[in-house]
A = this chain, B = another copy of it.
Amino acid sequence: MYLPDHFRETDPAEVAGLIAAFPLAAIVAQTDQGLVANHIPVMAEGETALIGHVALNNDMHRIMSDGTPVLAIFRGQDGYVSPNLYPTKAAHHRHVPTWNYQVVHVAGRISFQHDDKVKRAVVGRLTRDHERAMNGDAGWRMADAPRDYMDGMLAAIVAFRIDITGITAKAKLSQNREAVDHAGVVGSFEARGLDAMAARMRRDSAD
């Protein structure tokens, strides 16, 4: 990924926060069938792995042998930046449009697990996180479903683990702009409902 120094995301908390807030990864690999991408919600296991699961019917676990290199791409919010958002435009007109966004690229090696205990653990952890975030104490739990139904659902999935070999993150957030122009972009993002990206830009301003 093209990554000028001023756009490099170096804060581990920001990287972990983006993965947690935007967990639907595009998991890409080069296979005998060419480039293959699947969109799968995952979660970090510490700083060393990502975990998740796919349908048994998903060819991923057949065309990718254990150890296959994959790239898991996480993306936060993104938005067009018009030169009109820069107050300094009126003074010198030396601006062009651009696009702001936040991404995390996790490179790693994938392996698949068919073991029932592993699958229950992965599903349980993903469920707990998302249900707590959305429904708090009223969150759905695996135990709410009948046992025969849950057994059948678990039999129809495969767990996977991506052992991380490298993380590259980019926050393209107008860091190379004057403060007044930076603020103009933040205001536009807030007006467009791009709150997560605007909040990150406000944190940058406060530093």
Residues of B within 8 A of A193 (CB): 193
* A197 at interface, CB cutoff 8 A: no
- Please state if B1 and A83 are interface contacts (CB–CB under 8 Å): no
- Please state if A145 and B93 are interface contacts (CB–CB under 8 Å): yes
Using CB atoms, name the residue of chain B closest to A195.
B193
- Please state if B35 and A71 are interface contacts (CB–CB under 8 Å): yes
- Please state if B153 and A96 are interface contacts (CB–CB under 8 Å): yes
Kindly state the separation between the CA atoms of A118 and B134 in the bound complex, as whole angstroms: 48
Residues of B within 8 A of A82 (CB): 130-131, 134-135, 139-140
- Please state if B144 and A55 are interface contacts (CB–CB under 8 Å): no
* A103 at interface, CB cutoff 8 A: yes
- Please state if B26 and A26 are interface contacts (CB–CB under 8 Å): yes
Shortest CB-to-CB span from A126 to chain B, Å, is: 8
The 8 Å CB contact of A149, one of B30, B94, B135, is: B94
Counted per complex, copies of this chain come to: 2
The 8 Å CB contact of A84, one of B4, B94, B138, B145, is: B138
Residues of B within 8 A of A55 (CB): 2
* A46 at interface, CB cutoff 8 A: no
Kindly state the separation between the CA atoms of A144 and B103 in the bound complex, as whole angstroms: 31
- Please state if B96 and A145 are interface contacts (CB–CB under 8 Å): yes
Q: A2-B55, A24-B78, A82-B140 are in contact. Are A130 and B97 (CB under 8 A)?
A: yes
Shortest CB-to-CB span from A103 to chain B, Å, is: 6
* A20 at interface, CB cutoff 8 A: no
Ordered by A's residue number, 12 sampled pairs between the chains whose C-beta atoms are within 8 Å are A2-B60, A26-B26, A28-B28, A28-B37, A30-B30, A39-B170, A75-B75, A82-B135, A84-B135, A93-B144, A97-B127, A97-B131
Given A26-B73, A84-B139, 9 extra CB contacts under 8 A: A26-B75, A28-B28, A34-B69, A35-B70, A80-B130, A83-B144, A83-B145, A93-B145, A94-B146
